[in-house]
Amino acid sequence: MASSVQAPIVSQYSPATRQDSGSRIANDATGKAFTGEAVTVKTNAMSPLQKNAEKIANMAEELVQHVKDNKKDLKNRKVKEGTSFSEEMMKRVQKVQTIQNVQEIKDFLQQLKNTPNLTQKQLEDMLKNAFGGDTLHEFMGLNEAAHYFNDDDDKSRLVKQALNDHFSKNRVAIKSGLNISALAAREAEELSDTRELRETHLKLLGGEEVAQRTLDHVTDLPTLKELYKHIIDTHGSSAFEKAVLVHLKLLAVDLASLNPSTSPERLKAVIDELSSLKVLVGLHDGCIETQEQLQRLHPETTLDASELMEEILKLLEKTWMGESDLQSLLNCLTDEVV
- Please indicate whether residue 119 or residue 302 has the higher confidence score (pLDDT): 119
> Is 158's pLDDT higher than 80?
yes
Whether the model clears a pTM of 0.85, i.e. scores above it, the answer is: no
Mean per-residue pLDDT of the chain: 60
Residue 49 contacts residue 13 (beta carbons within 8 Å): yes
| The predicted structure's pLDDT at residue 130 | 87
Of 150 and 64, more confident:
150
Q: Indicate if the pLDDT at residue 301 is higher than 70.
A: no
The pLDDT of residue 223: 82
Judge whether residue 315 has pLDDT over 50: yes
Q: Which of 48-52, 76-80, 81-85, 251-255 is modeled with the greatest confidence?
A: 251-255
Q: Which helix (H) or strand (E) holds 271?
A: helix 264-297
pLDDT for the residue 115: 92
Cα–Cα dist 72/217, whole Å: 45
- CA-based radius of gyration for the chain: 24
The kind and range of the H/E element at 205 are helix 194-214
In whole angstroms, give the CA distance from residue 101 to residue 137: 8
Tally the residues of the chain.
Answer: 338
User: Which range has highest mean pLDDT (308-312, 317-321, 325-329)?
Assistant: 308-312
Q: Is 304 helix (H, G, I), strand (E, B) or coil?
A: coil
pLDDT for the residue 297: 76
Residue 181's nearest CA partner among 96, 118, 261 is 96
Note the pLDDT tens digit of each residue in 37-60: 333 333 333 333 334 434 434 443
Query: Which pLDDT tens digit goes with each residue over 93-142?
Result: 444 444 334 567 778 888 999 998 999 999 999 998 888 777 767 877 88
How is residue 6 annotated by DSSP? P
Measure the CA–CA gap between 328 and 325, rounded to whole angstroms: 7
Q: What is the pLDDT of residue 241?
A: 75
